Structure 1
Amino acid sequence: MGSKLVSSAVRLLLLGFIAFLFYYGDRLHVGFDYPHKGLFDNVYVRLAKGCILVLIVIELLRCYYYGVVKNPKPPKLLGNIATLIVPIVGLLVTIEIVFMCISQSQEGGLTLASHIWFERYWPPMVGDYRDTPKVDTVGKKNVFVLGDSFTSGHGLKSADERYGNILAEKLGTKEYVTYNLGISGSDTRDEYARLVKFGKKPDVLILQYFPNDIEKVARDHGLVPAGFEPYSDLPRAVQSLFIKSYLLNYLYWQFPHGNFAPFDTYARTAYGTPAIINDHLSDLNKFITYAQENNCRFYVVMFPFSHNIEKTAVYVKPVVDFFQRNNVPILNVGTLMGDIAPNDRVVGRNDGHASALVNQRVGDALFRLMQSNPGTSQMPSANKQLNAN
């Protein structure tokens, strides 16, 4: 019996070391590499973690069985502690494994549940884009839908629910082929760089705009948003547990952290500072010039903060005025959301991206805008109309 207890203890130590490598391997410069790591949580890695945890519980039960149950003279205090702890550990491991299978979209894609969500719902992908390979494109007009997470469909379980896909369906495939060039986290400069780098030229260019697109320009001028640092509101000793554990990570993100007030002040400052806004408008003017040089129709879709449409309108007024001065057709999504309940505007409680209902309205309205305003690449004096004042 003693030898069995010792062998179980040795196996428990070895399994514990393997579990450490799975959860904290980064501290030893050990990790797992797979496609889109950082966005996806690989199902096979989760399966391996679950198996290791199950084996650890089995060895704990073996230790308890040979050390307490089969021991003719078990230490009373140690036996009572083991009787209490072993079932609790088994229960927690079971719950942890269950939460390895739970997905939930989250605003910034920071959570473990959101990484599961991305793996489960984001594909198919073409390179970095959430899109399908295009076939039968000869002789058709190219429609580029360019933007950030609102364009890529963050939080939407089906890519067909995105406003770009809805527009593509209405345009049909006989004359048009629609490319979704949305990547989460993109800003104006990144979007323009990707547009130029893309291997095709558009006949129709749709640029999606969001109020945080000004952040890189503002940072160049020394203005940085006072964002919330995840897990900083937890005691340092337990932070890593909430980062690594699927159960604790999920529970942590069910509660609000940080607040919107700092960004409100930041946005008002960024959009209200002449040097910042003029540099930003200069970046946006590149799209107008690109449309002129490539003789393509150009439209702008402006998404607001869903929880405060009115404040968004105040922030981005210089951008709206700029596009209007340059005769660029604009779709203001805020005007399409007013009659929708706040909870129905977004994809979920932890994700403020536009819901399928909002995307449906945007796709419909964008199609109507394109029909009523065919657009033009000949927008006069674009380079002379940058100043926001």
Structure 2
Amino acid sequence: MLHLLYVVLGLVAVNLAAGWLLSRLPKGRGRTAGMGLLVAVDALALGLIVLELCMALFFAQSDGFNLTMSSRKWFERYWQPVNSLGYRDVEPAPRKDGEKIVMVLGDSFAAGHGVDNPADRFGDGLARRLGQGWRVVNVAKIGWDSVDEYEAMAAYPVTPDVVVLAYFVNDIYRAAEKSGHSLTFAVRFPQGTLTKYLVDHFALANFVYWRLARMGNLDDASAGFWDRLRGAYADKTVFAAHAAELDAIVAWCRERRIRLVALLIPSLSDVAGSAAMTARVAGYFGERGVDVLDLTPLIIDKKPGELVVNGVDSHANVGLNAVMADLLYRALAPAPVPAPGN
């Protein structure tokens, strides 16, 4: 807001200087035309200032890369509660007598990136569906991969009865990088002193710049990233390294007699294009006797707009979170009690 104040003060100074210059002109068309131009410039500037204020104060919208001012404002407004472990969840608590605990383990999809109310996430929806006697804990952070998830699961202070691994297709990232299969994603940040100043300090300029960037280099970079990601899954060396990461999760659960359910989430902007990746992961878990819930066949005919948070955030929207909660509930719900006499 300080930088907007500088703009206002600059506008006042320009008006004072222009008014003084216009007052020196003889009365006539020149002065009238000059006054008209000054009024037009002031009206445009005032409109931009009002729009800047509205965007800076009220516009909060998540984006998938968290590059924009509006996304940072979204996090300030909605990313809560955050517990002492850094998760978007309530504080861990000891198990109550007879209570069953489900751990939702994952990255930004499990944490609810783009979902304003954490109660609308699939983990919270599952908790409501399971009802009394169940507790669902959220162990997830943005940017995590399978190694991060294993470490967090093993370190959590309460041992769960069920682990729901929310697997997204970029979880192979670390294994790919270690195997020399680069999955870097280049983003072109503002160039030039003036452009960088405007984009870094003004919400309106920031909004316009990153929207234009998405129609240019970001879209190209994204397409290249997904091509390389498909290549990583097709690479036997890379997938073997990734399988070793997943083996640690499977083994940890088996040693403790914890049920593991793998919820596989494809690229929501190109479900069909990531189907081969989710199929390979489904095959891996199936070979190890792990329950697999692959979203791909359920949503392959859906358009991205029906699945994602918004046009710049391709995480799951509230509706898709509800679908995932229903899918998990059907997998985890206790068997119905037989009717008397049956």
**How high is the TM-score relative to the length of structure 1?**
0.74
1:91-130 deviation digits (Å, cap 9, x = unpaired): 4333222210211111111111111111112212213211
SS of 2:240's equivalent? helix
1:120-269 matches, within 5 Å, as: 120-127=77-84, 128-133=86-91, 137-139=95-97, 140-172=99-131, 174-231=132-189, 238-255=195-212, 256=215, 257-259=218-220, 260-269=222-231
**Structure 2 equivalent of residue 57 of structure 1:** 8
The residue type paired with residue 116 of structure 2 is K
The residue type paired with residue 157 of structure 2 is G
1:329 aligned onto 2:291 = yes
Counterparts of 2:92 and 2:180, CA distance in 1: 42
Residue number among 63, 68, 86 corresponding to 1:111 in the alignment = 68
Counterparts of 2:223 and 2:310, CA distance in 1: 21
1:293-331 deviation digits (Å, cap 9, x = unpaired): 222111110000112222212123332211101100011
Counterparts of 1:62 and 1:237, CA distance in 2: 20
Counterparts of 2:20 and 2:304, CA distance in 1: 60
Cα distance, 1:88 vs structure 2? 4.7
Counterparts of 1:240 and 1:160, CA distance in 2: 38
Counterparts of 1:270 and 1:258, CA distance in 2: 20
The residue type paired with residue 219 of structure 2 is G
CA RMSD in angstroms, aligned pairs only: 2.9
The alpha-carbon distance between structure 1 residues 274 and 61, as it changes in their structure 2 partners (threshold 3 A), is: same
Unpaired runs of 5+ residues, structure 2, are: 336-342
SS of 1:254's equivalent? helix
**Structure 2 equivalent of residue 96 of structure 1:** 52
1:28-68 deviation digits (Å, cap 9, x = unpaired): xxxxxxxxxxxxxxxxxxxxx25x63465246426733x45
SS of 2:137's equivalent? strand
Contact 2:130–2:333 at 8 Å: present in 1 too? no
The residue type paired with residue 131 of structure 1 is D
Counterparts of 1:334 and 1:223, CA distance in 2: 25
Counterparts of 2:112 and 2:188, CA distance in 1: 24
Counterparts of 1:215 and 1:71, CA distance in 2: 63
1:158-195 deviation digits (Å, cap 9, x = unpaired): 111111111111111x3222111121111111111111
**Structure 1 equivalent of residue 340 of structure 2:** none
Contact 1:228–1:258 at 8 Å: present in 2 too? no
The residue type paired with residue 165 of structure 1 is D
1:1-31 deviation digits (Å, cap 9, x = unpaired): xxxxxxxxxxxxxxxxxxxxxxxxxxxxxxx
Cα distance, 1:239 vs structure 2? 3.7
**Structure 1 equivalent of residue 339 of structure 2:** none
Cα distance, 1:266 vs structure 2? 0.7
**Structure 2 equivalent of residue 31 of structure 1:** none
The residue type paired with residue 8 of structure 2 is V
Unpaired runs of 5+ residues, structure 1, are: 1-48, 374-389
Counterparts of 2:306 and 2:225, CA distance in 1: 23
- Tell me: higher relative CO, structure 1 or 2? Use CA pairs within 8 A at least 6 residues apart: 2
Cα distance, 1:243 vs structure 2? 3.5
Counterparts of 2:334 and 2:90, CA distance in 1: 29
The residue type paired with residue 112 of structure 2 is G
**How high is the TM-score relative to the length of structure 2?**
0.83
Counterparts of 1:160 and 1:210, CA distance in 2: 21
SS of 2:246's equivalent? helix
SS of 1:132's equivalent? coil
**Structure 1 equivalent of residue 314 of structure 2:** 352
Cα distance, 1:338 vs structure 2? 3.4
**Structure 2 equivalent of residue 387 of structure 1:** none
Counterparts of 2:14 and 2:320, CA distance in 1: 56
The alpha-carbon distance between structure 1 residues 87 and 57, as it changes in their structure 2 partners (threshold 3 A), is: farther
SS of 2:211's equivalent? coil
Counterparts of 1:59 and 1:245, CA distance in 2: 15
